[in-house]
């Protein structure tokens, strides 16, 4: 849980958030874990503290992101459904791989820590925000995938090679394309 304290002695994680966006143009956050408990517990705790401390900025980001990504298009319902289907399927794949390979693979162990930290972020946000502003796990997955969503939504790599090249040339800064 998240409690106001300067001592990590009785907490998995503690943090400090200075919302200086209006004066400096950015915010400052510091999160520390105690080292007590499993790596997964510490990852979750760090995420929880971050989510609780930055909940107002997360909500603002969600409103901006959702509006710009899905509500600015005439085909917004289809775009949203496509993105939700992709991130949900990807989430299931990641969770399955963590369960199958997490004990034997350093890659999937690290992925499990990232997923657990994001779960903490989600839970920390929802623990402190108004009930009308709660976000789902899929909402967090969508925000996390923001950079890749144009590729997910428009399926450029399922088209012809020339369409994929044109899409990449006109919408990205990639210097290479691999199909």
Return d(Cα 146, Cα 129) in angstroms, integer. Answer: 22
What pLDDT is stored for residue 29 in this prediction?
95
pLDDT tens, N- to C-terminus, the chain (179 residues): 444 555 667 789 999 999 999 999 999 999 999 988 899 999 999 999 999 999 999 999 999 988 888 876 666 777 888 889 989 999 999 999 999 998 999 999 999 999 999 999 999 999 999 999 999 999 999 999 988 887 776 665 556 667 666 766 666 665 554 54
pLDDT of residue 121: 98
Torsion (CA) 31, 51, 147, 70 in degrees, nearest 10: -170
C-alpha 13/C-alpha 41 separation (Å) is 9
For residue 107, count other CB atoms closer than 10 A to its CB.
10
pTM for this model (two decimals): 0.81
Contacts of 75 (CB under 8 A, 6+ apart): none
What pLDDT score was predicted for residue 169?
A: 67
Buried b (16+ CB within 10 A) or exposed e, 92-106: eebeeebeeebeeee
């Amino acid at each position: 849980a998240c409690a106001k304290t300067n001592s990590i002695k009785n907490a998995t994680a503690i943090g400090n958030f200075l919302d200086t966006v209006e004066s400096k143009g950015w915010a400052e956050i510091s999160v520390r874990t105690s080292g007590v408990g499993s790596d997964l517990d510490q990852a979750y705790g760090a995420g929880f503290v971050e989510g609780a401390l930055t909940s107002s900025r997360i909500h603002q980001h969600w409103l901006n992101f959702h509006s710009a990504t899905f509500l600015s298009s005439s085909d917004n319902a289809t775009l949203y459904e496509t993105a939700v289907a992709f991130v949900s399927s990807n989430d299931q794949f990641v969770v399955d791989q963590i369960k199958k390979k997490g004990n034997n693979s350093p890659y999937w162990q690290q992925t499990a820590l990232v997923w657990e930290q994001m779960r903490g972020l989600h839970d920390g946000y929802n623990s402190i925000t108004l009930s009308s502003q709660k976000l789902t796990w899929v909402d967090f997955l969508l925000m996390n995938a923001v950079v890749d969503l144009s590729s997910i939504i428009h399926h450029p790599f399922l088209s012809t090679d020339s369409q994929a090249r044109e899409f990449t040339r006109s919408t990205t800064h990639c210097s290479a394309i691999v199909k």
